[in-house]
Chain A
Amino acid sequence: MNSRNQKLTLDRLESLFDSYGGDLSRWPERLADEAHTMIGSSSEARRLHVEAQALDRLLARASAPDPAQLDRLAERIMAVATGEGVAKPANAGSAQDASAGARIIPMPVGRHRGASHKPTDRQAAPVSSAERMTRGRWFGGGSWPAAAALAASLAFGVAIGFSDIAPNATYNVASFVQPSSSDADAALSDLQLELWNGLDEERI
Chain B
Amino acid sequence: MRTALARTGDTVPATNGEVSEDGRLLARLANGDAVAFRLVVDRYLPLVLGVARRMLRDEAEAEDVAQEAILRLWRNATGLELGPGGFKPWLRRVVTNLCIDRVRAARHLSVVEEVPEEIEPARQLDGLVDRDLSKRVDEALRALPDRQRQALTLFHFEGLSQSEVGTTLGISDEAVESLLARGRRSLKAALKEEWRDLLPGSGDAA
Inter-chain CA distance A58–B196, complex, in Å, is 9
Query: When each residue 144-177 of chain B gets 1 if its CB lies under 8 Å from chain A and 0 otherwise, what string results?
Result: 0000000010011100001000000000001001
Whether B49 lies near A50 (C-beta < 8 A) is no
Q: A59-B156, A81-B34, A87-B34 are in contact. Are A98 and B138 (CB under 8 A)?
A: no
Whether A70 lies near B61 (C-beta < 8 A) is no
Inter-chain CA distance A21–B187, complex, in Å, is 12
| A147 at interface by CB-CB < 8 Å | no
Q: Which residue of B lies closest to A108 (CB)?
A: B67
Q: Which residue of B lies closest to A56 (CB)?
A: B5
**Which residues between 100 and 141 of chain B lie within 8 Å of chain A, taking CB atoms?**
102, 105-106, 133-135, 137-138, 141
**Which residues between 169 and 206 of chain B lie within 8 Å of chain A, taking CB atoms?**
174, 177-178, 180-182, 184-185, 187-188, 191, 194-196, 198-200, 205-206
| B17 at interface by CB-CB < 8 Å | no
Which residues from B are CB-within-8-Å of A33? none
Q: A1-B174, A51-B199, A87-B32 are in contact. Are A77 and B188 (CB under 8 A)?
A: no
Which of A112-120, A151-159, A179-187, A191-199 sits within the interface?
Answer: A112-120
Q: In the assembled complex, how far is the CB of residue A3 from the closest CB belonging to chain B, in whole angstroms?
A: 12
| A54 at interface by CB-CB < 8 Å | yes
Whether B188 lies near A55 (C-beta < 8 A) is yes
Q: Which of B2, B49, B64, B206 contacts A115 (CB 8 A)?
A: B64
Q: In the assembled complex, how far is the CB of residue A68 from the closest CB belonging to chain B, in whole angstroms?
A: 12
| A135 at interface by CB-CB < 8 Å | no
Q: In the assembled complex, how far is the CB of residue B41 from the closest CB belonging to chain A, in whole angstroms?
A: 5
**Which residues between 46 and 61 of chain B lie within 8 Å of chain A, taking CB atoms?**
46, 49-50, 53-54, 60-61
Whether A86 lies near B71 (C-beta < 8 A) is yes
Q: A58-B191, A87-B34, A114-B61 are in contact. Are A18 and B181 (CB under 8 A)?
A: yes
A–B pairs, 19, beta carbons within 8 Å: A1-B174, A2-B174, A18-B185, A28-B162, A50-B200, A54-B195, A55-B184, A55-B191, A57-B195, A59-B5, A60-B6, A73-B45, A77-B45, A78-B37, A80-B67, A97-B78, A99-B80, A101-B76, A113-B60
